[in-house]
Amino acid sequence: MSEVPYKPEELLINTFAGLLDGVGHVAVGALSPIPGCAALLAQELAKQKGRDVQVSIIHGDANNPFTDGGRELFDCAGQGRIGAFFLGGAQIDGEANINLLGVGEYPDLKKRFPGSFGSAYVYFVIPKVILFAPEHSARVLVEKVDFISAPGTSPPNVHRPGGPKALVTGKCCMTFDAAAKRFTLVSVHPGVTVEEVRDNTGFDFDLINDVGTTLEPDGERLALLRGAIGPKIAKTYPDFAARVFGQG
Amino acid sequence: MTTFENLDTLARRIGDGQLLALAPDYSWVPMALVRALIRRKVLGKVKNLHLLTVPIGGLAADMLIGAGAVGTLEAAAVSLGEAGLAPRFTDAVEAGTLHMRDSTCPAIHTALQASEKGVPFMPLSGLIGSDLVKYRDDWKVVDDPLGAGGGPVVLLPAIKPDVALFHSPRADVHGNVWIGRRRELATMAHASASALVTVEAVEDRNFLEDEETAAGTLGAMYVTAIATAEKGAWPQGLTGLYERDTDHIRAYAEQAKTAEGFADYLKAHVLNEPGDEDGA
């Protein structure tokens, strides 16, 4: 156990920030407070090592450097100017196909979700896409998605500099191997077992030899999160900042 | 010439079956005009709209759908954001009463840019292997036609809306409209045959004569008509002037989960405003 109690969100933020190490420009889409905090934390950690990281949060005007309208994020990504991005999915399958659109056979959906947003493009052009599934269940992590908003992999003739590199859920962290089209479990969050992950995952996945426990944020990291990142993210997500960091 | 008129005459310019391009909730959505349009729908004056959200829809799209004004919807997504799923949209799709043309954000931006440039289509990378492409019979996958080894690309036909709709903090008396960094509003207006704009206020000056305002201005040549609507984006926010009314939107998300609740919402917040009873 970490010496300072922390919230589940703080573990996820810390985990994502670790995955962003070395990325020069992190963009974060709408409705993504946890990835937004992770990007700002990664920026802060890089600053301590004397490196600059650009963080672009597409939700409101704070932390948002874009001035050329909704297209600019995508144009910027298409040029290769964005290194990492986060995507969720109402369904994610074992080949990293993601579905943000609905359950059932299109167009006669049993359950409709908002839609594919920009996923059908950014999943191809941003080198490090990190998948996020807060609810780790066989309902979300399915064998085969009902609708492919964006495919996990592409044939070699398709221009695809980007794609999924990792999946972080409420229970574990996995990496994705595009050549093998498979996820590999690398760590389980504190208190979670490998069996529990298997029981709640609808697809088959590999394991690294020694599946460890996801690194917990230490006191220094938590102080940084609550002291420096909280006030910054409060400009974009005041409710989230108040709930998780007690400020806003 | 841009004309200055009122909310009802602005709404009267929108006809049956027209393709409307609508600003998203985060980008100066013209909620007062949407409410005026719903009052016209209730009067039987407008129906079967083809709505294009640029690129995602929210409260405004959900209300127009719930009111039965929309026949076809082209969108990358429709959501109430932090307040959750858009309930009337979700219901309409699940009931099969809304014709969906599902898209993705950059495809909508690109198809509007094609229209801006006056070309019939534009290519976009990505997309291949997405089921969106499978179900869009107007999109076409071709091999890189220049033979430069780029592989397959998707061609998107230009989208040319009949009308672009948005709200802004201010216009000037010459019909120029301030859009600041909300450049998607310029793209929408450039691509559309007409633009109907509501503003908080009209200023007695010329934005184009000052370099600091000129760069953030949509020129009057694209603006068909302007009406003043104070708090015209409410319950959404307007940059620098008022914040989004989060409590109201959360209450809507809850109330509009049923058709009856939505009808009550309309009575309380839309049909209570002065109507357009004898409008053409």
User: pLDDT tens digits for B136-177?
Assistant: 999 999 999 898 878 999 999 999 999 999 999 999 999 999
List, for residues B107-140, the tens digit of each pLDDT value. Answer: 999 999 999 999 999 999 999 999 999 999 999 9
Per-residue tokens: B124: 């976009």
A233 CA: distance to closest CA in chain B (Å):
15
Average pLDDT, whole number, for chain B? 95
* Shared-domain flag, residues B12 and B77: yes
Q: First and final CA of chain B: distance in angstroms?
A: 22
Q: B76 in contact with A at a CB cutoff of 8 Å?
A: yes
Residues A165 and A95 in one domain: yes
Interval A55-97: pLDDT, tens: 999 877 888 999 999 999 999 999 999 999 999 999 999 999 9
Cis peptide bond N-terminal to B30, omega within 30: no
Alpha-carbon distances of A39 from A14, A22, A33, A56, A130, rounded to whole Å: 10, 12, 10, 9, 12
Sign of CA dihedral B197, B199, B204, B209: negative
Q: Is the pLDDT of residue B98 over 70?
A: yes
Q: Are residues A124 and A166 in the same domain?
A: yes
Q: Are both B254 and B177 inside the same structural domain?
A: yes
* pLDDT at residue B279 greater than cutoff 80: no
Facing residues of A183 across strands? A176
A25, A100: one domain: no
Based on the domain organization, do B179 and B245 belong to the same domain?
A: yes
Residue B74 contacts A where some CB pair is shorter than 8 Å? no
Asked if the C-beta of A242 comes within 8 angstroms of chain B's C-beta atoms, the answer is no
User: Please, where are the H alpha helices in chain A?
Assistant: 8-19, 33-48, 71-78, 119-125, 194-199, 219-224, 230-234, 238-245
**Within this chain, do residues B11 and B144 fall inside the same structural domain, yes or no?**
no
This prediction has a pTM of 0.96
- Domain total of chain B: 2
Residue B10 resides in a domain: yes
In the stretch 146-205 of chain B, residues with CB closer than 8 A to chain A read 150-153, 181-187
ipTM: 0.95
- Sign of the dihedral through C-alpha B50, B26, B94, A121: positive
Q: Please tell me whether residues B64 and B45 are part of one structural domain.
A: yes
Whether B66 and B188 share a structural domain? yes
Q: Is residue B148 part of a domain?
A: yes
Instruction: For residue B96, tell me if it sits in a domain.
Output: yes
Higher-confidence residue of B122 and B25: namely B122
Is B141 in the same domain as B223? no
Q: Are residues A14 and A99 located together in one domain of the fold?
A: no
**Which tens digit of pLDDT belongs to each residue from B37-62?**
999 998 898 999 999 999 999 999 99
Which residues have CB under 8 Å from A238's CB, separation 6+? A248
Residues B73, B146, single domain; the answer is: no
pLDDT in tens, A27-59: 998 889 999 999 999 999 999 999 999 999 987
Structural domain including B150 reads: 122-157
Question: Does one domain contain both A202 and A103?
Answer: yes
> Same domain for B261 and B170?
yes
Beta bridge partners of B171: B177, B202
Q: How many domains does chain A have?
A: 2
CATH number at residue A180: 3.40.1080.10
How many angstroms separate the CA atoms of A233 and B141, rounded?
41
Give residue A223's domain range: 1-85+218-248
Nearest CA in chain A to B142: A158
Number of Cβ within 10 Å of residue A37's Cβ equals 30
Q: Are residues A11 and A45 in the same domain?
A: yes
Residues B100 and B178 placed together within one structural domain of the fold? yes
A163-218: per-residue pLDDT in tens?
999 999 999 999 999 999 999 999 999 999 999 999 999 999 999 999 999 999 99
Q: Report the mean per-residue pLDDT for chain A.
A: 95
B254 within domain boundaries: yes
Both A96 and A149 in one domain: the answer is: yes
Is residue B279, in this structure, part of any structural domain at all?
Answer: no
**Res B1 pLDDT > 90:** no
pLDDT of residue B107: 98
Residue A248 in this model has a pLDDT that exceeds 50: no
- Which residues does chain A have within 8 Å of residue B29's beta carbon, measured at their own beta carbons? none
Please, which pLDDT band fits residue B277 given cuts at 50, 70 and 90?
Answer: low
CB-CB under 8 Å, B130 with A150: yes
A75 and A93 together in one domain: no
Cβ <8 Å between B94 and A111:
yes
pLDDT above 60 for B15: yes
